[in-house]
Amino acid sequence: MSRIRVAIVGIGNCASSLVQGGVFYQKNPTVEGLIFPLIGPFAVNDVDFVLGIDVDDRKVGKTIAEAIFAKPNNAVVFQSDIARSSAEVIMGRMLDGMAPHMLAAGERGFQPASTPEATQHDIVNALRRERVDVLVNFLPVGSQEASAFYMECALEAGVGVVNAI
């Protein structure tokens, strides 16, 4: 494996910072700020973000490059020049991933997409189609059912997981 193909579930502020950071280090030949410039044979330049999964109407159907800057995200923008790849954000499964107070917060909260929610079969197929190596879980804190759902999908697809909830 010469590249690590990464999918992200939950395209919020943490996902925005991760993707921006990956692009920053790809464009700037420095290791300043990295605790581990290499993990085994892999460097930041070896990571490709190939799939996003979210349930917010402002992100589903967009590319990851667009979705990381969509509301309600408000992470600091330090790398705005994100390549417009074809890595799409697909509709996921809500379960307990949208807290009631965030549904009532207007533009500052979540706006559920009207697209039909994904099934386990849909997510597993997307992970396999994109040949994902690692799924990063950036769901909101407290999303126990949703996290369990995506972990089952990753297990079925044979994908590693970084649970960053």
Compute CA distances 6 → 47, 74, 110, 116, whole Å.
Answer: 7, 23, 24, 24
Compute CA distances 148 → 89, 111, 143, whole Å.
Answer: 20, 22, 9
Q: Specify the pLDDT at position 81.
A: 87
Q: What distance in Å separates the CA atoms of residue 99 and residue 149, rounded to the nearest whole number? A: 17
One-letter amino acid identity for 15?
A
- Residue 85 confidence (pLDDT) above 80: no
* Cβ atoms of 156 and 125 closer than 8 Å: no
Residue 116 banded pLDDT, cuts 50, 70, 90: very high
Q: Specify the pLDDT at position 79.
A: 92
Q: How confident is the model over 39-84, as pLDDT tens digits?
A: 999 999 899 999 999 999 999 999 999 999 999 999 999 998 888 6
- Residue 151 confidence (pLDDT) above 90: yes
Q: Which helix (H) or strand (E) holds 51?
A: strand 47-54
The average confidence (pLDDT) of the chain is: 93
Q: Specify the pLDDT at position 6.
A: 97
Q: Which helix (H) or strand (E) holds 18?
A: helix 13-27
Q: Helix and strand tally (H, E) in the chain? A: 5, 5
Q: Following DSSP, what letter does each residue of 127-151 receive, concatenated?
A: HHHTT-SEEEE-PPTT-HHHHHHHH
- Residue 89 confidence (pLDDT) above 90: yes
Q: Specify the pLDDT at position 111.
A: 87
Specify the pTM: 0.94
Q: What distance in Å separates the CA atoms of residue 61 and residue 54, rounded to the nearest whole number? A: 9
- Residue 1 confidence (pLDDT) above 70: no
Q: How confident is the model over 121-141, as pLDDT tens digits?
A: 999 999 999 999 999 999 999
